[in-house]
Amino acid sequence: MNKPEIIIAMDLPNKEAVDLFINQFPVSESLYLKVGMELYYKEGPAIVTYLKEKGHRIFLDLKMHDIPNTVKSAMRQVASLGVDLTNLHAAGGKKMMEAAIEGLIEGSPDGKRPLIIAVTQLTSTSKEQMNEEQGILGTVADSALNYAKVAKAAGLDGVVCSVHEAQKVHETCGEGFIALTPGIRLAGDDAHDQTRVATPKRGKEEGSNYIVIGRSITCAENPYDVYQRVQGEIE
Ligand code: C5P
């Protein structure tokens, strides 16, 4: 069974909060950190460079969704930052996803583009909400799988989905296609606004390649301790 990589979602307001957070980990610990909209919109590209210089890998989670040309240009800029992984919304369509890859290739300084995955259905989305608000019939898993097929056809490296869809994604799109799963909680933790949560252990059992865990670590009294517990669960 594959051991998933742990990505910490740093949903933090600014660089000061980031420093306070990462200073609680041993300096030698190389982390995989998710920089999302809150932090990026405050600190800009400098936060990515700063964390890369400290030896961490970066998942830049800006969930792009726009016309193909705009996404292509934006992805060119993202690639020039040297991020390791980035994403967009599959709902933007196959053409948009193909354009995103072109942008990443053009913007990669060393010719090695970052990995790119597509958000299928957010892990906060319930079936009722998807049926009624998005007008998409069926289950969330059906929709996630459909988006995964489109992402695969566009040449993407994988998708963001819930743990509950990871196995199906691999069955449909191949073992090499990444299933990155947020909504991870240690047993007994608060689910907050997530509706489709799972433990790290379950993530591993279902074949997640990357598990994204935010508030369970960032809001903990001792983040490194929780991080080690998560590591222990997937060993
Ligand atoms: O704090 P928590 O563990 O719920 O954080 C989950 C992270 O994963 C958040 O940063 C959220 O934006 C992100 N995410 C998600 N569901 C998706 C895609 C990304 O929860 N489908």
Q: Identify the band that residue 2 occupies on the pLDDT scale cut at 50, 70 and 90.
A: confident
Q: State how far the alpha carbon of 27 is from the alpha carbons of 23, 213, 224, in Å.
A: 8, 20, 12
Asked whether residue 197 carries a pLDDT value surpassing 80, the answer given is yes
Asked whether residue 123 carries a pLDDT value surpassing 80, the answer given is no
199 CB-near residues (< 8 Å, 6+ apart) = 184, 185, 186, 187, 233
CB-based contact 167:126 (threshold 8 Å):
no
Q: What is the predicted pLDDT for the residue at 124?
A: 82
pLDDT in tens, 140-158: 999 999 999 999 999 999 9
From the list 144, 139, 104, the residue with the least C-alpha distance to 120 is: 144
CA of 198 to the centre of ligand 1 (A): 13
CA of 59 to the centre of ligand 1 (A): 12
Q: What is the predicted pLDDT for the residue at 29?
A: 95
Which atom of ligand 1 is least distant from the CA of 192? Answer: 4
Q: What are phi and psi of 78, to 5 degrees?
A: -60, -45
Q: What is the residue-averaged pLDDT of the chain?
A: 95
State the Cα–Cα distance between residues 115 and 175, nearest whole angstrom. Answer: 16
CB-based contact 180:203 (threshold 8 Å):
no
Asked if 63 is an active-site residue, the reply is yes
Q: What is the predicted pLDDT for the residue at 196?
A: 76
State the Cα–Cα distance between residues 163 and 184, nearest whole angstrom. Answer: 8
Which atom of ligand 1 is least distant from the CA of 160? Answer: 21
**Which member of 15, 52, 63, 201 is catalytic?**
63
